[in-house]
Chain A
């Protein structure tokens, strides 16, 4: 198992490099824009060549691209410095760090809720195929997949306000100090975000369970006289969870994307809000920083998922 973890970590490095190159190049795509915007925003008296040139030099934009890249990566890796916000001149790291916990909590809660709903329902649906429960579960997932989560979120915010004058609570208490208050704020947003996620996971779980239950080894289990519940849970679920885990890995990036929208609707001060504000104010260092951090987070989650594979599937371990 140890060597498996090591191999996974090593495989991560080239991916990290490529991701960082992508981040770097995307934002550098149109350097002219950046400069012009900065100039207009910071209100230099005249965009004379000199000033522009000076600014270029100051930002290191006159250097060849690969040097810029190395500088940038060097700053990040060695000093944890992603530059400063153009607006507030505070380190990007700080800005992101302040908001990261909110997004993380939202994401984790949503995923947990989604799994808690989807997996049992999916298993039940597969085992009791074509029964009432199956149809209800599938109908729910069909609808949940079609409803855009931003619409659902908006409805949930607007309608209660209209009908009962109720708004979702907004003040976030740190989790470890006041867990109940904290959860009250996150509950509704997580439910909404988790809903569409659970639909996808449920369908996959059901499909994989059906697939697994048709396998020969399940027939062997029946032939041994194993009771049905054990067949499903011990023989079926463990095998079916492997591809479901893959799916969760694919969904995590989508989950992060969803947090942006949900944070916006529920006015939660997370990374999503920061990103949107930065886009509006063209605060490129922050945009770049968030971009990079999001990539790293996804990679970390994928690593964790790979580790879970090792737990579930003995073929990976030996």
Chain B
């Protein structure tokens, strides 16, 4: 199913919470994902982790992908770089265009040259994502050695410089240290530095702050924001934390059970959520402004079994707005405004909203 409709309107400058200096270019996005499907085969069962996902990332913008665990957001991100381990995993459909090149059609060697170089990925677990037996300098210099032939002398200076960019104090001595000598927050900074080493055009940050303390989370996110702005790179920010998304994302994709269920600018999503799942996410966030004694409203039920999903909309068993049609037919993504799309049969959530 082609997404050519997205490219029709060429006006730019969507409303964002954080007005960036760059105006993202709709017509010529940096990355375009079309109908991506990634599966995992385990014995007899096949898990449809990503089940027909399409979106684009424009130059200079920060796109958030939001969803709970199992929604397929991480797998989507890893599919972009084809970082899925291949005996169980396989990409069965779709196109991924990066700056005009089809990533899925590339050879192993070609995609290798893009990884860490033009597209960099930052992972969730800083404690385990760094190699414990190699020094920080070694790991920082690796992408530079692999992708650009950098002179040995220059390498050390560049490593120190990178550490300074991510605001690690005393980088000259830190550069020779080992990962176990750093705290979690600092390790994540090292990961970010590693990602920036070759000045990528796109950074994919997979839950970069989930494993960190709350105070450190804010620092890391600010750092990411500043760095992407400085370098003019785009970022895909994957998270389940709506608070993070509100401050740092230009546009948001909400994913559920391997599909995108709502898409829009940050303002639209927060101000006017049109999918019951998005609404549920908003409502389940504890608010500092609520009166004491207000109960949290979790979303009832469990995520579906991805190897045997129910027919129709995957959310319907947990949806309090569900109608008969939801059980039988999968709703397509329907455009509501220039950037705002939803995949839901129910027209107006306000009419049915209780509380």
Contact = CB atoms under 8 A, between A and B. Distances in A.
A165 interface: no
B202 to A, nearest CB: 13
A234 B141 CA distance: 14
A232 to B, nearest CB: 13
Interface in B95-142: 112-117, 120-121, 123, 125, 128-135, 142
B147 interface: yes
Nearest to A226: B146
Interface string A219-233: 111111111001000
A314 interface: yes
Contacts of B117: 225
Contact of B146 (A216, A225, A313): A225
Contacts of A220: 123, 129-131, 191, 194
Q: For A221, A223, A315, which residue has the most chain B Cβ atoms within 10 angstroms?
A: A223
Contacts of B220: none
Given A222-B83, A235-B134, A216 B194 contact: no
A309 to B, nearest CB: 11
Contacts of B133: 238-239, 312-314
A164 interface: no
Interface of B is mostly: mixed
Interface in B171-212: 178, 180-181, 191, 194
Q: For A225, A226, A315, which residue has the most chain B Cβ atoms within 10 angstroms?
A: A225
A219 B129 contact: yes
B142 A318 contact: no
B143 interface: yes
B129 A239 contact: no
Nearest to A222: B83
B123 A225 contact: no
Q: How large is the interface on A (under 10, 10 to 19, 20 to 34, 35 or more residues)?
A: 20 to 34
Contacts of A313: 132-133
A222 B120 CA distance: 11
Nearest to A215: B128
Interface in A195-227: 215-217, 219-227
B159 interface: no
A272 B195 CA distance: 58
B126 to A, nearest CB: 9
B83 A223 contact: yes
Interface in A95-138: none
A233 B98 CA distance: 31
Contacts of B115: 222-225
Nearest to A241: B133
A217 B115 CA distance: 15
B146 A223 contact: no
Contacts of A217: 128-132
A315 B131 contact: no
A235 B113 CA distance: 19
Contacts of B114: 225
A318 B178 contact: yes
Contacts of B143: 224-226
27 contacts: A216-B125, A216-B129, A219-B83, A220-B131, A221-B131, A221-B142, A223-B123, A224-B120, A224-B142, A224-B146, A224-B194, A225-B113, A225-B115, A225-B116, A225-B117, A225-B147, A226-B116, A226-B142, A226-B143, A227-B146, A239-B132, A239-B133, A312-B133, A313-B132, A313-B133, A315-B178, A315-B180
Interface of A: 215-217, 219-227, 230, 234-235, 238-239, 312-315, 318
Interface of B: 81, 83, 112-117, 120-121, 123, 125, 128-135, 142-143, 146-147, 178, 180-181, 191, 194
Top 5 nearest A-B pairs by Cβ distance? Answer: A224-B116, A225-B115, A225-B116, A216-B128, A217-B131
Given A225-B147, A239-B133, 20 more contacts: A216-B129, A217-B129, A219-B83, A220-B123, A223-B81, A223-B115, A224-B115, A224-B194, A225-B113, A225-B114, A225-B116, A225-B143, A226-B116, A230-B146, A235-B131, A239-B131, A314-B132, A315-B132, A315-B180, A318-B180
